[in-house]
Structures are given as structure tokens and as C-alpha cells.
Amino acid sequence: MHRNGLWVFGYGSLVWQPEFEFQERNIARLEGYARSFCMRSIHHRGTVENPGLVLALDEAESHCDGVAFFVAPDRAQSTLDALRERELISSAYLEAVLPVSLRDGRRAEAVSYVIDRDHDQYCHLSLEEQAKIIAEAVGGRGPNTDYLYNTASHLKELGLEDPDLTWLSNRVAEIKAGSVVL
């Protein structure tokens, strides 16, 4: 895989903040998984005392549309090392190489980060519960709201609007504005 380069599938913050150099970016679809705020964040978007929520790929009879990045062979290992440092800060994500369909018709095997359902950071919450947490949490990379708003707006710009993220963005804005009592 590294000898010929590396594909990376982004579905959350990697869409708008990959933090690595890539040669190509292509809209991609991953079958069998859904994007979900199913991981409690105790580092990047929350703390141990007040966990936030971040997106993860959760197995589902669905699909997730995102972005596949191609990294040149000479940068593949350093990119993978940086991704592991960023994404595997706790063991809640599992690194997997999964088949993605690129919008241009090609197929690729892409490094992807999926949730470990057996990990204590895994959660399954209603959208309303998610909104309440996201509205308040702050972690090492900033407010949880920034993560939500950036991901939702960048997906929409790419023509990949996610209805749950749109609903959450609107609901979190209402909560932050104080227009709705919790």
C-alpha cells in the first residue's frame, strides 16, 4: 500500500482539516458504515470531566459519503504516523483499510477510522442529547460547536449535506442563543 501511495477516507474533521499533504482529493462513498456522533471526546473536543462528541464511522446498513485523499508514496508513512497520532489518541477508533468508491468511478482501499463499539467512549445518543453535549463541550482543539459547524458546512459545500449534521447545527445554534429552554 505505501509503495504505491496511500488513500485516506475523511468523513469528519479530515474533510476540512486534513493536516497532511495530498496529491488528489476525490468525493468517495464507503458502504456499510454511517457517520455518527457516537464517540465521546475526552481530548480534542471535550475533557474527561465534560466529554464532547466527535464523529466516527459506525457499522450500519447504510453508506457514508466523504472525501478520499491520495498521498504520494514518499509521504505515505509519515502521513500514516501523523494520522495515528491524531486519530488514535485513545483506543476508541480502530484503523481499518476499507474499500471506497470514488465519484469518478474508480475504487480504492482507504485507511479509515471506525468506532470500537466495545470501547467506553462509544455511545448511542438521540440527536437532542447530542446537541446538548455539543453546545457546551470544549477540548484541546477548541469548542465542540466549531467541529460540528465546520464539518456540516464543508460537507454541504461539497454537495454532501448530512441531514443529521444540519439538524444538529440548527439545534445547537438555538441552544447557544438561549432561544430554547433545555
Q: What pLDDT, in 10s, does the model give residues 76-124?
A: 999 999 999 988 877 899 999 999 999 999 999 999 999 999 999 999 9
142 has pLDDT over 70: yes
Do the beta carbons of residue 147 and residue 45 sit within 8 Å? yes
pTM: 0.91
Q: Find, among 44, 12, 38, the residue nearest to 144 by Cα.
A: 44
User: Across all residues in the chain, what is the average pLDDT?
Assistant: 94
DSSP for 40-54 reads EESSSS--SSS-EEE
**Active-site residues: which are they?**
87
pLDDT score of 16: 94
**Burial readout 34-69 (b: 16 or more C-beta within 10 A, e: otherwise):** bbbbbbbbbbbbbeeeebbbbbbbbeeeeebbbbbb
Tens digits of per-residue pLDDT, 39-55?
999 988 999 999 999 99
Domains of the chain, earliest start first: 6-176 (3.10.490.10)
> Which residues, other chains included, contact 49 with Cβ-Cβ below 8 Å and sequence gap of 6+?
none
> Which residues, other chains included, contact 101 with Cβ-Cβ below 8 Å and sequence gap of 6+?
28, 29, 31, 107
